[in-house]
Amino acid sequence: MTGAAGFIGSHLVEELVGAGHHVRALVRYSSTGYRGMLDRLDPSVLDQVDVRYGDVRDPALMEALLADSGVVYHLAALIGIPYSYEAPRSYFDVNVAGTQNVLDAARRQDVGRVIVASTSEVYGSAQYTPIDEDHPLHPQSPYAASKVAADQLALSYQRTFGTPVVLVRPFNTFGPRQSPRAVIPTIIGQLLHRDDGRVELGALTPRRDFVFVTDTARGFRLAAATDDAVGSVFNLASGRSISIGELAGRIAALVGGADVRIETKDERVRPPDSEVEELRGDASRARQTCGWEPLVSLDEGLVAAIEDFRGHGVRDAERYWA
């Protein structure tokens, strides 16, 4: 698995180990030996994981990593949308060239299945809802454009070379271990860190379809286990959306603090024509083909995210909301 140290990746490691699979996990090399969110896993889980260090931009490393692999889960990517405006080339180096390295290694190693992590951001603002997999792709950020390119490259390998590719397209995943920069931890962190109920956000009207991270991880595993999934794209979505402003109020009620006061900060607003106004997905294909459906409600997931943040996130978040 690539991207194993990340938010979704660490939960997928747990999901796979829990299902009895052996996991070889790629973590981007650091001289400190930092293993990202894998360090948050229970030792009984992590003891069963073969952690390797490196970078998806290294084709020789990908060849070695994928040797004797039955299934490859490719989650490694640069994902921060704001930074993609500042350094778009780096997103294509990692997200597109890195994906090509994984695909080439999978071909040479004759891997049985390649599960590629996509994103609902490739759709852009909804032209119709709920968004199914046939919705036009309309990337509105360099990040989204890099993911469209990676997706199409993966599907081209399936069509041209017969590489057994499956695209899994999560909508807005949330839950424990998520970066403090993501919108739900941003709201939680500010509510817990500040005593005046003030929350600074960007645009409040965009609507998002939130899926709890354990449901997303299970969707990846089911996609790999379903023979009919090869060559297909699968949305992982709840089919419901909520505006960012409404979401902030909902989290404030669950935190149980003072009345929330939301302030829009210009520096948190995306550039003109870049904001995706609505994402609400149709997961019928995943339900019918893979037997997947979300099991955790938004409120249940928010409670879990809040409790996780109380235990682990506040110290890390203070540098963002001093």
What the block records as the tokens of 9 is 């990746």
Q: Are strands 172-174 and 165-170 parallel, antiparallel or unpaired?
A: unpaired
Full set of structural domains in the chain with CATH: 7-178+210-240+279-296 (3.40.50.720)
Strand order in the sheet with 233-236: 71-74, 113-117, 165-170, 233-236
pLDDT for the residue 320: 45
Q: How confident is the model at residue 319 (pLDDT cuts 50, 70, 90)?
A: very low
3-state secondary structure at position 267:
helix
Task: Please determine, for residue 288, whether its predicted confidence score (pLDDT) is greater than 60.
Answer: yes
- End-to-end Cα, the chain, rounded Å: 36
pLDDT for the residue 197: 74
Q: How confident is the model at residue 2 (pLDDT cuts 50, 70, 90)?
A: very high
- The DSSP secondary-structure symbol of 237 reads -
Using an 8 Å Cβ cutoff, are 143 and 302 in contact? Answer: no
pLDDT for the residue 107: 96
Task: Please determine, for residue 315, whether its predicted confidence score (pLDDT) is greater than 70.
Answer: no
Distance CA 189, CA 194 (A): 8
Active site residue 143: yes
Q: Which residue has the higher pLDDT, 270 or 143?
A: 143
Q: Of 120-129, 137-146, 185-194, where does mean pLDDT reach its minimum?
A: 185-194
Q: Which residue has the higher pLDDT, 268 or 201?
A: 201
Q: Of 115-119, 140-144, 188-192, 207-211, where does mean pLDDT reach its minimum?
A: 188-192
Burial of 181 (0-12, 13-18, 19+ CB in 10 A): middle
- The DSSP secondary-structure symbol of 122 reads G
Task: Please determine, for residue 293, whether its predicted confidence score (pLDDT) is greater than 70.
Answer: yes
Identified catalytic residue from 73, 91, 123, 143: 143
Compute φ and ψ for 165, nearest 5 degrees.
-95, 140
Q: Give the DSSP H or E segment for 18.
A: helix 7-18
- Tens of pLDDT, residues 176-221: 999 988 999 999 998 888 777 788 888 888 999 999 999 999 999 9
- The DSSP secondary-structure symbol of 5 reads T
Distance CA 282, CA 173 (A): 15
Q: Which residues of 119-153 are buried (b: 16+ CB within 10 A; e: fewer)?
A: bbbbbbebeebbbbbebeebbbbbbbbbbbbbbeb
Using an 8 Å Cβ cutoff, are 15 and 214 in contact? Answer: yes
- Tens of pLDDT, residues 81-93: 889 999 999 999 9
Q: Give the DSSP H or E segment for 154.
A: helix 142-161
Q: What is the mean pLDDT of the segment spanning 233-247?
A: 96
Q: How confident is the model at residue 316 (pLDDT cuts 50, 70, 90)?
A: low
> 73 in the Ramachandran plot: left (φ > 0), alpha (ψ -120 to 50) or beta?
beta
Distance CA 280, CA 172 (A): 10
Task: Please determine, for residue 35, whether its predicted confidence score (pLDDT) is greater than 50.
Answer: yes
Using an 8 Å Cβ cutoff, are 298 and 242 in contact? Answer: yes
